[in-house]
Structure 1
Amino acid sequence: MNIIITGASSGIGFETALELSLHTGNKIVAIARSANKLRKLLEIAKGINPDCTILPVEFDLVNDDYNVLVPFLKERLGTVDILINNAGALINKPFLETTEQDLGEMLQTNVVSHFKMIKHILPLMQAGSHVVNVGSMGGFQGSVKFPGLAAYSASKAALHILTECLALELAETGIKFNCLALGSAQTEMLETAFPGYQSPVLAFEMGKYIADFAKTGHKFFNGKVLPVAVTTP
């Protein structure tokens, strides 16, 4: 399978890329802003499976030029079977201290970057391909909400609705769109949101779940926002 995953340099994205690299038949483009962390990913993946194919790509989803990225992807992959939009950021700040710039940053990173990625990658996908957006329980309607996360949660809610809209509008293409609204997993982002909280779910466990869902979930779901959480938070 030809797979693209964003936000692959740390946390859940890192672990998902590692899990996918265990299968020698997968060709994985791992995208992130940190070249050093991507090199570490490649080093660890090769240590586990010397025959794996991971192509590290240093790219800023918000600011860099997609007209440079897409020709590279066409050349190295040709077609894309799975796109995992995992990149994201979090601001933890009381609402009255949250600025419009903070909200704009959350929307750019957590929604607009994925919007742009999907738009540019869709021409490389075909019937049976799967787009997986990584959302959050913070943006899941009816879930428990927490102070300080208004901008982050609002941006994730927007990503959830975008997923539903694309599944409907592009149904005739045969490309499936789903979103996993993740609960807590032990990552740096969780520590930022809930300092001192220990999640019962480890990052590698969540990474394995996302990898498995990306490969098979489109056979059972389309246009769904699926909560993946065992605790609150």
Structure 2
Amino acid sequence: MADEGEGMLARAMRVLQCFTDDEPALSAARLGELTGLPSSSLHRLLASLTEFGLLTRAAGHRYTIGVRLWELGELSPLSLHLRETALPHMLRLYEATGENVHLAVLDAPTPDTASALYVGRLTGTGSIPTLSRMGGRHPLHTTGVGKALLATRDALWLERYFAAPLERETTHSITSERELRLDLERTRARGYATTHEEMTLGNVSVAAALGPVDGLPPAAVGVVVHLERADERRLGPLVVQAARDIRAALLADSR
């Protein structure tokens, strides 16, 4: 059951956080199950969220995330500054490779709950299908951008990160702390991270961290290609250069 002393904002967040990739549209009954809020309180809250455009009524007496919430999200520095600045360089990387290009940031309330949050994506008709989407998140240890971000963390941060078990996404996922640490050492040595079918079978990713930029979380850019087209010796330098170019543009904009 919800805490009776819980504030309105906390209850609103309890509702909004129910919407996921698997359940983008939810009925009031389902929201009641997920939040534990009393029916009367929930319906008043849904009416308010709908009135302000944070939720929208959908077919089948269900609710979806509203346009106003999307509009507010686009005012985030991740959209206005990072993604908009990165897009021309991501486009050049896509034109050079013809493959999926991803931009992600480290979302880490705590190291043991950290993930890669995808804030930009370019794809084409010839690109291999991926699980990623803008606004979606994936584990750090199974994605190229995630490993690139992990490689920027210090020893204390990584110690806390490894306190939580690493979940296996495919049979190729690295779930051993020792093996992943060795992989991160290789990432630092060559300047870019790789994954081989660790998030999705048949997919290989190559990614590089941007380096620190004031006012923004750690970020990385990468490409995802089919195993048969994965020429790391060619893709690695292209991704590293894209990361450098994006950071340089971000730093120039902030002067």
Calculate the TM-score normalised by the size of structure 2: 0.26
Larger Rg: 2
